[in-house]
Structure 1
Amino acid sequence: MILVLRALGVGDLATAVPALRALRTTYPDQELTLAAPAWLAPLVELIGGVDRLVDAPGLGRLPWTGPAPDLAVNLHGRGPQSHRMLTATRPGRLLAFANTDAAHHDGPPWRPDEHEVDRWCRLLAWYGIPADRTDLALRRPPIGALPAGVTIVHPGAKAPHRRWPPERFAAVARHLTSTGHRVVVTGNRAEHRLAQQIAHLAGLPDRAILAGRTDLHDLATLVAHARLLVSGDTGIAHLATAYRTPSVLLFGPVSPARWGPPPDRTCHEVLWRGTYDGGRAGGVPHPALAALDVPDVLAAVERVERRVPAPARPPERVPVG
């Protein structure tokens, strides 16, 4: 049995997909258990190949009651806490980055500046497990009753300094609506008021406010069948990468060289005005985000749509309720 740790969020799990697929391919007959937050279960199902999900909301004690795994794989971080979480299960072998504090020396060195996808592919390659860093796709769910062919504006982000100003998102939404886009505003329940503010500033109807009304499976479905996504550097951007949905992504404190979509994909346009220094500037939003203005985003939309023409307008669907 193989136990994999990735106790983080949507984008973190999406960037680990090539590594998870490599483990599944290399060990086709082994049970593959993923330790990750339980709310990510819909995304785990879209990845496929994972036999069991164990709820691990963070770096606490892993609720492990089964037999010792034959192999434990740390796709969470450099250690030592994540290493110790896995060694507590007494695995036959641990695959992880070298960490002296965790007394783990059998692993490659950590590189702070590499892309998150490449990091985990390199870790497995060190142990003789080949991984394809381009294997990022998720299963595409049927659209069902969700609106198809919409343009998604997603203003939220976990940290306030990673959020572009709402009035600028509203200006983008208003312009896109005037040019024929059917705009919806997404987010979690805590971001409903933010989405409402943006929708009202943009002149959108209440039915366009989907923040707090979609679960993770619904959100992935929306992105899979969307015309365009406009968002910051957050989890939904990685869903657009997985489905090759055209996107314009606004990066702030962290370089897209570490978390952005593959640079050879023409369906994604990344905007960034900063140099990553490993720290966090005090401004809200981050200065690299504040330097991006509405014309920058609209010009990026035009570039993407020249390269990836919009499909024919699909039939109207009943918005999620």
Structure 2
Amino acid sequence: MILVLRALGVGDLAAGVPALRALRAAFPDRTLALAAPAWLTPLIELIGGVDRIVATDGLAAPPALPAPELAVNLHGSGPESHRLLQALAPGELWAFACAAAGHPDGPTWAEEEHEVRRWCRLLSHYGVRADAADLSLAVPGAGAPRGVTIIHPGAKCPARRWPRFAAVARGLAARGHEVVVTGSAGERELALAVARDAGLPPAAVLAGRTGLDELAALVAHARLLVSGDTGIAHLATAYRTPSVVLFGPVPPRRWGPPADRAYHRAIWHGARAERGDSMEPGVHPALLRVGVDEVLAAADEAEKARHAVAA
């Protein structure tokens, strides 16, 4: 059995797709098990090739498994994730070098590396080639409206929550877009407020009303997505849906869509990259520098670029 650790969220899972597919191709006759949160199961099934999902919520405890032939750490470079896998006594561990965990032979972690390329480089160190452009997901069979424009105002941390989504939603609706507002159940009040301020009816608020497979289907068939740097933006990348993604505190060079796709527009006005999210109150300054007219113009450009590709 090949066990892969990626016990994180939607965007993290999407960024690991090329590495997972490369492992599937490299070990076609082995069981490929993915240690990840159980709630991600609908999205994991859209990747294809994962034989077993091992419910793993963070790094609190190792999964209850026999020793795998190979353990692959696609979670991080710190000692916690290394030790969780080492506790399973795998025949071999593929991971970034970590002296604190007694694993010195992996490649060196590069903080500013793009998340997708990071894991492809890890596998390359061990002789497995991964295609960083292999980001697509299967389209779910779940029913979803087609051709809508999605506004997704929420994000895990307060620093990523741009405060002007309602004005963008109003502007897009005035241009003829059928706008819906998405989010988790915990973000429903935020979504309702955005819809109200944009003049949208309550029925346009889908936050808390879609499962992961339904959300993926919605994005796959959408006209456009406008969001912060959060998981749904990676679904737009997977389905080649035109998108405008607002970045802060982490820049798009680390988590953004492929730079060669003009129909994914990343907006970043930061002076420097932060190490990661902050759960402190307040929106990151890079996001506060983003203007409504700038986002609307980027939305127009993304749509035009997608039509040019399709022509």
Q: State the TM bucket, normalised to the shorter chain.
A: over 0.9
* One-letter identity of the residue aligned with 1:137: S
The Cα offsets for residues 247-296 of structure 1, whole Å up to 9 and x where unpaired, read as 00000100100000010011101100002142668672100000001011
TM-score, normalised by the number of residues in structure 2: 0.96
Q: What is the deviation of 1:79? A: 2.1
SS in 1 for 2:304: helix
* Conservation of the 8 A alpha-carbon contact between 1:17 and 1:47: yes
Give aligned pairs, total: 307
Secondary structure at the aligned position of 1:92 is classed as: coil
SS of residue matched to 2:88 = coil
Contact 2:151 2:225 in 1 (8 A): yes
Matched, 1:30 2:17: no
**Residue matched to 2:200:** 204
| Runs of 4+ residues over 6 Å off in structure 1 | 279-283
2:57 aligned residue? 57
Specify whether residues 243 and 115 from structure 1 end up closer, same or farther in structure 2 by C-alpha distance, changes over 3 A only.
Answer: same
CA displacement at 1:143 relative to structure 2: 5.3
Distance 1:243 1:308 in 2: 12
Q: 1:156-191: per-residue Cα shift (whole Å, max 9, x none)?
A: 0000011000xx211111111111100000000000
| TM-fit CA distance, 1:67 | 2.2
Q: CA deviation digits over 1:48-77, x for unaligned, max 9?
A: 10001011110111231x321000000000
Aligned to 1:315: none
In 2, Cα distance between equivalents of 1:128 and 1:148 = 42
Indicate the residue corresponding to 2:69 in structure 1.
70
Q: Which residue of 2 aligns with 1:157?
A: 155
Q: Which runs of 5+ in 1 are unaligned?
A: 311-321
Check whether the contact 1:143–1:225 (CA below 8 A) recurs between aligned residues. Answer: no
2:63, 2:223 → 1: CA distance?
41
Unaligned runs of 5+ in 2: none
What are the superposed Cα offsets for residues 107-160 of structure 1, whole Å, 9 maximum, x if unpaired?
A: 10111110000110000000000100000000012352x211100000000000
Instruction: Give the structure 2 partner of residue 314 of structure 1.
Output: none
1:89-238 correspondence to structure 2 within 5 Å? 89-142=88-141, 144=143, 146-165=144-163, 168-238=164-234
Change (3 A) 1:280 1:142: closer
Residue pairs, 1:38-57, within 5 angstroms: 38-57=38-57
Residue equivalent to 1:7: 7
1: distance between equivalents of 2:212 and 2:194? 21
CA contact (8 A) 2:151 2:226 kept: yes
For each residue in 1:73-119, what CA deviation from the matched residue of structure 2 results, as whole angstroms up to 9, or x when unmatched? 00000020000100111100000001000000121011111000011
> 1:78–1:110: 8 Å Cα contact kept in structure 2?
yes
Output the TM-score relative to the length of structure 1: 0.93
Q: Distance in 2 between matches of 1:191 and 1:88?
A: 37
- CA RMSD between the two structures: 1.5
Letter in structure 2 aligned against 1:192: R
Partner Cα separation in structure 1 for residue 21 and residue 131 of structure 2:
9
